[in-house]
Structure 1
Amino acid sequence: MKLSRAACIDDLREMARRRIPGFAFDLVDGGAESERNLRRNVEAFEEIELTPRYMIDVARINTRMALFGKTYDLPFGMAPIGVLNAFWPDADLTLARLCKKENIPYVASSAASTALERLAEAADGNGMFQLYVSGSDDVTESLISRAESAQYDVLFVTADVPAAGKRDRDIRNQLAVPFRFTPEVIAQCACHPRWSLTSLRHGKPNVANYADLLQQATSYAEVQKTLITPSFSWESLQKLRDRWRGKLVVKGILHPEDADRCADMGCDGIVVSNHGGRQVAFGPSTAEVLPEIAETVNKRMTVIVDSGIRRGADIMRGKALGADFSLVGRAMAYGVGAAGRTGAERALEILKLELVRALGQLGTPSIVQVGAENLTDRTLRRHL
């Protein structure tokens, strides 16, 4: 399929699937265990009904939205994804630069394949930094200090990794640290020469911000000691809140009581997220829990939603359910996997076009005007 004929994000996903070896595609595309949560995230957004209203002047559609004191041209940004350069080489910098060009936020993952300083430079003022709290206080402090020096002013603290997600696809693919070139992997690379040659040109992807620590790692267990902290607690979060001088956002909130506590602690925002369905298969979708969380927070802090956004209308749906802003991850990753920079641009173009047309059909010329009053009665009964 030609890129110009890609009508939706699912088309870009299929293009990326054909272009990328299975083990690398599964690394981003896959979810936890049966992948029930991954599927449910998408389905739950599709079930949200909004009532179109007509004979309203929608000749000018305004998609601009403010987030943490800065106004962006679209009401969504790029969610953090770790080791994305394994999906497509140089994906990190490609997406960071695109976010700057289109004036949307870019959240750099601490598990990115590119150093946080380079990503801050590429995003050029539009960058925010996502932190995996390490089992080592020294490692965590080092990352925070580097983020400060790189002039990130918003810190996303990921809370939903007390244990590693069990991802069946990665187990079947025998994904390991250090990466092993098994006969099956070599065969897959041979069948995808463009990916292989591009990867050779850019070098083997790693977790750049932890490169020195992971150099000696021989198992996932050692990696998990660096990236995952089972002992991360409310007290740990309070120390981070006291330590970080900028805006602090807690990512991975699914319960209204947890959201309420984050607000009481002085956090500036939360991300209603289930890690894109990558941590557990038994939990709720983000669309299902968002309304009660937003109501509990009651405008005391910013509410962001991610996980399952595949259409521009999903961003509008999230706003109607109570979110102030959205993050998209896989949708943009599929674009860069389908065709590099031009594919990423196509993914953003699709989401923007769908959002603008959906706002017009809704009879709401500005995204900031979207709210619960746009939901159908059936959706209100189900979700509010």
Structure 2
Amino acid sequence: MNALLDLAARQLRADLAAAPARTRERFSPEGRAARCRTIAELRALAKRSVPKPIFDYADGAAWDEVTARRNLAAFEDVTLHPKALTDVSAVDLRTTILGGEVALPIIAAPTGLTGLQHPDGEVAIARAAHRAGTITTVSTMASCTLEEVAEASAGRRWFQLYVMSDRGLVDELLARATDNGYEALVLTVDVQVAGVRERDVRNGFSVPPRISLRTLAQGVAHPRWSAGFVANPRMVPANLGWEGSASATLAASVNKAFDPTVTWDDLADLRSRWKGPVIVKGVMRADDAQRCVEHGADALVVSNHGGRQLDGAAASIEALPAIADAVGDRAELYLDSGIRRGTDIVKALALGARAVMIGRALMYGIGAAGEAGARRAFGILDAELRVALALAGYPRAADLGMDAVSVR
């Protein structure tokens, strides 16, 4: 009995000694992210972890945010039809993207000024994507340079291009992307001018962020974010050499720098100069999709920019079937905007997408916990997708087809 009491006492002392470390781990951003079971819970954690203007920049959309809501709701109009008596003891998420295999059909979408959520920004997302066995896409508006991301993580990388009025700068960006091993060019075609994101307007969001009493109060309320921001500020697009102005809204800066005259001739020119695959992002019409293919596009991203540009547009998943019919097997299709669940991915693949791209899910992740949060976002969707495929009766994600769904 004494021996048992002595053993119990030693165990209690060990537990008490370890408790502070366990408590710190549990309540650290990484520990809190690990307890998030869904992308919605990651979003809620990010909302508590960063100042409101920073969260709203990632979460918000254009005008009344109708299209942003529609992107989510439209997945409810796609019904799954599971197959019975199928061996799903081993579920395989692998697919082939532009000739190379990825471990799961989820690609990190380009997101601008990601470093405002966490100072590791696009580096954190790249590391998380490559750890998951997939591709990262670095935006023209990234907080980290093309070189920083390439040096930090050696996996597959794409470069997303906005065409600037300064075509010399465009040439420089293309050269840097080539020199640093970016395999594909993602030309975004739905930002002729900046969409009006009224949350940003109300918050007075600028590049760099405007420092005011309200801003300081937000910083005090989010000390962990503030410490990272002060230690390694990522306030402007690192690839563009912008110094920014506290009096200039992001929309004003975009409208000053971006070229609204971009046409099909520019796509043809970029196709002739870029030696790797060309992907066109922001296609929502079947006729435009056909024309992109005729101009040499290797892949298309069916996307309404997450509802951040033209409010009132169709949901991306609504546009996907007609584009898939029009393009056939002449180009790969990826679906962007609205992915929050593994079942969303099943539906997108069944309707013709080779893979999906996720943007906000990763922004929520790094806002919540940096790289650990981005890894958690991939992990949540990976796990949900495996269960959804098994229950749908499809052991291989690559085998999904129209027989798996119907659209209301």
Name the count of aligned residue pairs.
377
3-state DSSP of counterpart to 2:349: helix
On the 8 A contact 1:106/1:123 being kept in 2, the answer is no
Matches within 5 A, 1:181-260: 181-211=211-241, 213-215=242-244, 219-220=248-249, 223-225=253-255, 227-260=257-290
3-state DSSP of counterpart to 1:187: helix
Q: Which amino acid is the alignment partner of residue 233 of structure 1?
A: T
Counterpart Cα distance in 2 of 1:125 and 1:3: 24
2:390 corresponds, among 360, 366, 375, to 360
**What displacement does 1:48 show?**
1.2
Cα distance per residue 1:3-33 (max 9 Å; x no partner): 3432210001001101110011011110001
The answer as to 2:76 corresponding to 1:46 is yes
On the 8 A contact 1:217/1:223 being kept in 2, the answer is no
On the 8 A contact 2:132/2:375 being kept in 1, the answer is no
**What displacement does 1:199 show?**
1.1
For 2:359, the equivalent position in structure 1 comes to 329
3-state DSSP of counterpart to 1:267: coil
Q: Which amino acid is the alignment partner of residue 357 of structure 2?
A: L
**What displacement does 1:313 show?**
1.4
For 1:305, the equivalent position in structure 2 comes to 335
Counterpart Cα distance in 1 of 2:87 and 2:254: 54
The alpha-carbon distance between structure 1 residues 216 and 338, as it changes in their structure 2 partners (threshold 3 A), is closer
1:35 corresponds, among 34, 41, 65, to 65
**What displacement does 1:348 show?**
1.2
For 1:103, the equivalent position in structure 2 comes to 133
**What displacement does 1:47 show?**
2.4
Matches within 5 A, 1:36-75: 36-75=66-105
The answer as to 2:142 corresponding to 1:125 is no
**What displacement does 1:46 show?**
2.8
2:303 corresponds, among 262, 266, 273, to 273
For 1:79, the equivalent position in structure 2 comes to 109
3-state DSSP of counterpart to 2:377: helix
**What displacement does 1:300 show?**
0.5
The answer as to 2:122 corresponding to 1:92 is yes
**What displacement does 1:178 show?**
4.1
Cα distance per residue 1:94-141 (max 9 Å; x no partner): 111111222110001110000011112334131110001101111111
1:146 corresponds, among 151, 176, 201, to 176
For 2:374, the equivalent position in structure 1 comes to 344
Counterpart Cα distance in 2 of 1:141 and 1:5: 45
Q: Which amino acid is the alignment partner of residue 288 of structure 2?
A: D
% identical aligned pairs: 39
For 2:190, the equivalent position in structure 1 comes to 160
**What displacement does 1:342 show?**
2.1
Counterpart Cα distance in 1 of 2:152 and 2:83: 41
3-state DSSP of counterpart to 1:40: helix
The answer as to 2:160 corresponding to 1:116 is no
Counterpart Cα distance in 1 of 2:110 and 2:265: 25
Q: Which amino acid is the alignment partner of residue 329 of structure 2?
A: K
The answer as to 2:198 corresponding to 1:177 is no
3-state DSSP of counterpart to 1:49: strand
RMSD of aligned C-alpha atoms?
1.6
On the 8 A contact 1:31/1:167 being kept in 2, the answer is yes
The answer as to 2:346 corresponding to 1:319 is no
The alpha-carbon distance between structure 1 residues 255 and 358, as it changes in their structure 2 partners (threshold 3 A), is same
For 2:294, the equivalent position in structure 1 comes to 264
Runs of 5+ consecutive residues of structure 1 not aligned to the other structure: none
Matches within 5 A, 1:283-302: 283-302=313-332
Counterpart Cα distance in 1 of 2:184 and 2:164: 19
TM-score by length of 1: 0.95
TM-score by length of 2: 0.89
The alpha-carbon distance between structure 1 residues 250 and 49, as it changes in their structure 2 partners (threshold 3 A), is same
**What displacement does 1:374 show?**
0.5
On the 8 A contact 1:12/1:338 being kept in 2, the answer is yes
On the 8 A contact 2:68/2:308 being kept in 1, the answer is yes
Cα distance per residue 1:292-345 (max 9 Å; x no partner): 001000111111110000011111110111111111111122112112222222
On the 8 A contact 2:208/2:235 being kept in 1, the answer is no
For 2:51, the equivalent position in structure 1 comes to 21
**Which 4+ runs in 1 deviate beyond 3 A?**
1-5, 213-218
Counterpart Cα distance in 2 of 1:230 and 1:145: 23
Q: Which has the larger radius of gyration?
A: 2
Counterpart Cα distance in 2 of 1:3 and 1:162: 36
